[in-house]
């Protein structure tokens, strides 16, 4: 769906990371974890294109000045990296946005009996929070969070409050273990039960490492990808990635916006 | 006041209003059905079609630029067989005319493809893309050389009885020469413009951003160039024109109509707002009402200059 | 770290850095002296000069467009006599090289004017505008026909010993052909691009906004087209190129240099921010320092593709 | 000069008319009435060009949270007509702007002994306020204010507070006389003394009518013009108007930004 939204809050939770809460229609509650929204930052033509962000959290709130009871909200967690996110970060309460979503295919929870291994790098943690919230109802959830330094590892307390067991690694060791989160992850993966599921979101090299580990230990694995997007609805073919059967002569392209952003790691070509 | 007339005729295709969607920016229509009523549109133009499925270019394929975007999709498409099997059934469910945008890698392929499409009753007309700047083989030559354009359009004309629109490239010294060549070869309408060839660079990586190095520039940035070309061509050729390039609003669309376009196509705006094309169509109606114009056709080429 | 080298050589003109101002957007230099130190610039290019004073077009002459602007100034200028009497004395007070942009309404006028300028010691070089789209007589023909371009550049080459830059129009099918013709005729450097021809319409008045109907599109909107043309020409010709088109920041300027430009010109940005050209020059220096590049010349054409 | 400025207030004083106060360097006090500033609405490229506005008022204010004493401010009065002014109207206190100015040539007061006849149409009143403030020190000042309706006639109370005698005319008669301000003006002009000066700002047809009246009654007259502008400093030649000696063969163009915006009405070609 497409809807007008009003900013409820927009807070810098860590240097250059912002958490923005905005109004949404009740149907937003149908979003699957891993789905995303396309945000039109302002009605001017600079920036021109919408910006994609994962659904970080959903909920309802009591409206202050009206009688209409509880209203729905949507939260995104974003990092300021360029023009669009910089402009987003200057928005205030009551400013307006135009939102498209939820879009794409989200994570599939898999067997509730199996433990869930969530792997997130940097702002890749964003969609994992809403995912964890849903998963903890039925399953044991572990989170492996990585980043360059402690400021990149976000909202760990929130995850812990959900009852998620968290493992952290940073490149510089300022939080958790020093090194790659995939190393910490492999240790635990080796011990994981046969019904475990891996659910990952983060930079491509991290996802690739996770996908290879998943293959090595034969654990089902879903990854959430990023790609430059224009339409978000499968029309422009701007956001494609190579599917497992891809070769130059027999192309197999998938749209990150429509066939993803969450893919079974086995469906993609990682080389 | 009675409702103004918005309907126009393009090469024999009756449009309920002059607002069409631009090829490559609206998929095969179905993708946008959740966001707007497809019955609000004058016509739907589908993604550029070729005989065989086509992989298109490696990624990145798109990049935002100031007031515009570059794309180098490379004409990825499902090919004629899958189009008939998978896309036509949905298009049958809408009464809005469907125009198929096609291209070939060779002269012969253009003819063959036009012949195949001729047999599809759901297709109201053909738009021939001789202007896509991304495909080295074919594309660029047909679109920039009047003789080559004449040949390919003549062949397509002989291969189909469907209404025939030819889409022009802006990457030429004199668009009027190209327009005349296409009309001489049997084009019943012209659509213009396709994208301007451009490039974007990632300074830190010291690389072009697009894997294809260059891409086609679309969006508001190109509107002045598109308006100028429509105006130039309208002064000279007699067939109806379809104005394309950076149309974001009913005002933009009406400007193209004043410049000489009978209809318009909405491209990049579909990405910014998937309901754009519908909003533009209803916006045109409102404008006609508010300005006491009984028939949109009064505005075609009505620019005072 | 020692300071990086920013100096470059264009056709024998030594620039302290690659940032020049674009003709017609910086007056005769003096207008901007209150807003930036002219000594920060690589070179100043003055407003297009003709033999006689020229009135230019009626108004409106400018209009904003999405991410850009159209101008149809019509080359209003003071003429060579007043230039020498009124403008040169100020230019003598700055050490920054001054390049005179010139044009003629006839072939002969180009030659005559180049000859007159040859005698002015304060002028470091000549930039020949064969690309202005506003003047019916002359401009458009020289800039879009390789043979005409060859002739006019040859004549100018014979009429002056000053360093000779030729400025190319983007309104052509193949800019490389034009570039080659100019180099063959003796151009020692090429600057590109001039403006794209465009148009804007006032819907309510049903009139073109510009009195001249069409005008030249400049600003960020055209940057992708300009980058592409610089890259195309750099692959083929050997003379230094000056990249122009929508440069607003040091990043933009460096992108043009990666694409193959030895220097750049800042145009429309001067209107948004009169100190732009200076900010861009210092911004380039900072970038080189931060990225450990000892010499700007390492970046010229260094795009990996 | 070029300076960064912070919005102090931005208030809708009449439907779609806003009065914006912003910080300015002390040198702003050197502005002449009739000069203007070019405002860069935001650092994005939409809108691309700066927007010109007359200096409506100047002054100083006590800063609340610092020790630095009185600071200068600049005020503009603007009407929302398009994209740029619409964006301006959404700015809040503490938002930032980039200003160029004061630019151009302002009004020349003339003989203080003569009475000053100010004629303003619609938002053309804007520069006349600062002008009146300066003139009332030495001279008798009359203001003739016109507009389509009462909402177009701005800040009359402020003018009256300065001691200006005001005459108002509106097209629909909702304020003052019904009809053209130039009619009301002519009545008074006929009675004006030999040392009177006319100073006018407003739409071109009004200025033309005023210029003709000035000629008829042989009273010196200065008019402030508008034109589309790009540079504001005399470099782009976009803003020219025809000077008195203009003909197609012997062109005489003047830059509104540099040679104006205030011209002696005799220096212009009115046909
Ligand atoms: C499905 C999906 C979900 C995402 N979820 C989040 C999230 O929850 N939080 C978050 O901070 N970021 C997320 N991203 C990345 C986010 O979209 C980009 O950081 C953002 O678009 C950058 O915009 P900008 O204008 O600041 O950067 P600029 O570099 O100025 O953007 C220029 C262009 O490149 C595109 N772009 C730049 N970086 C990326 C990127 N990494 N991925 C896709 N497009 C990019 C922009 O959309 C824009 O079109 C997600 C991306 C995708 C595809
Ligand atoms: C010297 C001078 C002083 C002015 N003083 C005032 C003032 O004090 N208060 C006020 O409300 N207005 C004033 N104006 C007019 C004001 O500049 C325009 O209303 C404003 O630029 C419109 O911008 P926009 O983006 O809202 O309109 P748009 O129509 O979207 O603007 C599009 C383009 O046209 C230009 N433009 C549109 N209308 C005008 C106009 N009337 N004059 C000049 N350029 C225009 C814009 O600057 C812009 O480049 C003045 C103009 C000039 C030249
Ligand atoms: C992502 C994308 C894909 C496109 N694909 C095609 C295509 O397949 N065939 C075609 O003729 N034009 C194609 N175009 C060009 C558009 O139909 C249109 O001519 C151009 O985008 C200018 O219009 P706009 O500024 O409204 O987008 C494509 C444009 C975009 C942005
Ligand atoms: C108002 C204006 C006047 C111009 N006058 C000239 C001119 O006299 N001669 C010339 O060669 N180019 C002229 N140009 C073109 C510029 O020099 C430059 O090539 C063009 O604006 C593209 O650069 P930009 O996008 O940085 O503005 C003019 C451009 C503008 C905007
Ligand atoms: S973003 Fe357009 S197809 Fe995915
Ligand atoms: S606005 Fe540029 S010369 Fe006046």
Which ligand is located closest to the Cα atom of residue D74? 2
Chain A residues lying within 8 Å of D7, measured CB to CB? none
Q: How far is A47 from chain D (nearest CA, A)?
A: 8
Chain A residues lying within 8 Å of C67, measured CB to CB? 45-46
pLDDT in tens, chain B (305 residues): 689 999 999 999 999 999 999 999 999 999 999 999 999 999 999 999 999 888 889 999 999 999 999 999 988 888 999 999 999 999 999 999 999 999 988 888 999 999 999 999 999 999 999 975 445 444 457 889 999 999 999 999 999 999 999 999 999 999 999 999 999 999 999 999 999 999 999 999 999 999 999 999 999 999 999 999 999 999 999 999 999 999 999 999 999 999 999 999 999 999 999 999 999 999 999 999 999 999 999 999 999 98
Q: How far is it, in rounded angstroms, from Cα A42 to Cα C295? A: 40
Q: How far is A46 from chain C (nearest CA, A)?
A: 8
Is the CB of B218 inside a 6 Å radius of any atom of ligand 3? yes
| pLDDT tens-digit readout, C140-192 | 578 899 999 999 999 999 999 999 999 999 999 999 999 999 999 999 999 99
Structure tokens at A203: 């930079």
Structure tokens at D268: 């212009």
Residue whose pair of structure tokens reads 């100047």 in the numeric block: D58
Q: How far is it, in rounded angstroms, from Cα B275 to Cα B272? A: 9
Q: Residue C1's pLDDT is what?
A: 61
**pLDDT category of residue A16 using cuts at 50, 70 and 90:** very high
**Helices and strands (H and E) in chain B: how many:** 10, 16
ipTM at complex level:
0.95
Question: Helices marked H in B57-172 — which ranges?
Answer: 79-82, 88-92, 107-118, 139-144, 146-159
Interface of C with B in 207-236 (CB under 8 A): 207-208, 213-215, 217, 219-225, 227-228, 231
Structure tokens at C261: 């430009």
Contact present, A237 and B46 (Cβ < 8 Å): no
pLDDT in tens, chain D (271 residues): 999 999 999 999 999 999 999 999 999 999 999 999 999 998 889 999 999 999 999 999 988 766 778 899 999 999 999 999 999 999 999 899 999 999 999 999 988 889 999 999 989 999 999 999 999 999 999 999 999 998 888 888 899 999 999 999 999 989 988 999 998 899 889 888 788 999 999 999 999 999 999 999 999 999 999 999 999 999 999 999 999 998 877 788 999 999 999 999 999 999 8
Q: How far is it, in rounded angstroms, from Cα A162 to Cα A247? A: 43
Cα A5 from chain centre: 20
Structure tokens at D196: 């009177």
Structure tokens at B77: 């498409």
Backbone φ and ψ for C32, nearest 5 degrees, come out as: -100, -5
Is the CB of B99 inside a 6 Å radius of any atom of ligand 3? no
Chain D touching partners, 3 or more CB pairs below 8 A: A, B, C
Strands B98-102 and D51-54: unpaired
**Helices and strands (H and E) in chain A: how many:** 5, 16
Counting atoms of ligand 3 from 1, which one is nearest the CA of B222?
A: 25
Q: Residue B138's pLDDT is what?
A: 43
Instruction: List, as one string, the DSSP characters of D14-48.
Output: ETTEEEEEEEE-GGGGGPPTT-EEEEE--SSSSS-
Q: Which of B60, B68, B73 is closest, CB to CB, to A48?
A: B68
Interface of A with B in 71-100 (CB under 8 A): 98, 100
Nearest CA to A56 out of A147, A134, A163 is that of A134
Cα B21 from chain centre: 7
Contact present, B54 and B138 (Cβ < 8 Å): no
Q: How far is it, in rounded angstroms, from Cα B248 to Cα B64? A: 16
- C8-57+76-198+218-299 carries CATH number 3.40.1350.10: no
Which ligand is located closest to the Cα atom of residue B65? 1
Structure tokens at A255: 């749209």
Ligand 5 centroid–CA A227 distance in Å is 9
Q: How far is A249 from chain B (nearest CA, A)?
A: 8
Q: How far is it, in rounded angstroms, from Cα C277 to Cα C36? A: 8
CA distances from C169 to A110, C45, C99, C134 (A): 61, 17, 19, 12
Domain layout of chain B by residue ranges: 8-57+76-198+218-299
Q: Is the pTM of this model over 0.80?
A: yes
* DSSP 3-state of B204: coil
């Amino acid at each position: 769906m497409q809807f007008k939204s009003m900013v409820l809050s927009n807070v810098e939770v860590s240097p250059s990371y912002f958490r923005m809460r905005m109004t949404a229609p009740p149907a937003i509650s149908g979003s699957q974890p891993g789905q995303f929204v396309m945000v039109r930052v302002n009605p001017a033509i600079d920036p021109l294109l919408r910006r994609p962000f994962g659904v970080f959290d959903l909920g309802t709130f009591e409206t202050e000045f009206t009688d209409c009871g509880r209203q729905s909200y949507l939260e995104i967690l974003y990092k300021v990296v360029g023009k669009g996110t910089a402009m987003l970060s200057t928005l205030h309460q009551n400013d307006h946005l135009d939102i498209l979503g939820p879009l794409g295919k989200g994570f599939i929870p898999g067997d509730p009996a199996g433990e869930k291994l969530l792997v997130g790098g940097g702002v890749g943690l964003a969609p994992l929070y809403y995912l964890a919230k849903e998963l903890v109802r039925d399953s044991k959830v572990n989170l492996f969070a990585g980043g360059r330094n402690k400021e990149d590892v976000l909202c760990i307390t929130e995850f812990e409050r959900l009852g998620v067991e968290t493992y952290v690694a940073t490149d510089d060791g300022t939080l958790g273990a020093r090194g790659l989160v995939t190393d910490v992850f492999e240790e635990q993966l080796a011990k994981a039960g046969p019904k475990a599921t891996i659910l990952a979101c983060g930079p491509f090299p991290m996802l690739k490492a996770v996908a290879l580990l998943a293959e090595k230990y034969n654990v089902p694995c879903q990854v959430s990808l990023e790609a430059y997007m224009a339409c978000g609805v499968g029309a422009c073919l701007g956001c494609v990635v190579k599917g497992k059967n891809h070769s130059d002569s027999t192309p197999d392209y998938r749209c990150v916006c429509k066939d993803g952003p969450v893919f079974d790691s086995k469906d993609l070509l990682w080389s | 006041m009675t409702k103004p007339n918005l309907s126009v005729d393009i090469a024999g295709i009756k449009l309920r209003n002059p607002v069409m969607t631009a090829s490559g920016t609206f998929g095969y229509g179905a993708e946008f059905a959740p966001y707007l009523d497809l019955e609000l549109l004058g016509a739907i133009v589908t993604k550029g079609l070729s005989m065989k499925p086509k992989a298109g270019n490696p990624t990145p394929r798109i990049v935002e630029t100031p007031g515009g975007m570059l794309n180098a999709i490379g004409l990825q498409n499902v090919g004629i067989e899958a189009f008939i099997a998978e896309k036509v059934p949905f298009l049958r469910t809408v009464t809005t005319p469907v125009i198929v945008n096609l291209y070939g890698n060779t002269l012969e392929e253009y003819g063959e493809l036009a012949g195949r499409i001729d047999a599809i009753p759901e297709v109201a007309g053909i738009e021939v893309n001789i202007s896509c700047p991304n495909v080295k083989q074919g594309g660029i030559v047909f679109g920039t050389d009047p003789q080559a354009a004449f040949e390919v359009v003549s062949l397509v004309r002989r291969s189909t009885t469907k209404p025939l629109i030819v889409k022009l490239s802006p990457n030429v010294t004199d668009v009027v020469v190209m327009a005349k060549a296409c009309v001489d070869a049997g084009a019943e309408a012209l659509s213009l413009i396709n994208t301007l060839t451009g490039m974007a660079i990632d300074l830190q990586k010291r690389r072009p951003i697009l894997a294809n190095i260059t891409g086609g520039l679309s969006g508001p940035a190109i509107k002045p160039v598109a308006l100028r070309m429509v105006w130039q061509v309208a002064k000279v050729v007699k067939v109806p024109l379809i104005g394309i390039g950076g149309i974001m609003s009913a005002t933009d669309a009406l400007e193209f109509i004043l410049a000489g376009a009978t209809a318009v196509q909405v491209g990049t705006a579909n990405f910014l707002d998937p309901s754009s094309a519908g909003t533009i169509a209803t916006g045109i109606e409102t404008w006609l009402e508010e300005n006491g114009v009984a028939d949109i056709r009064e505005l075609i080429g009505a620019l005072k200059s």
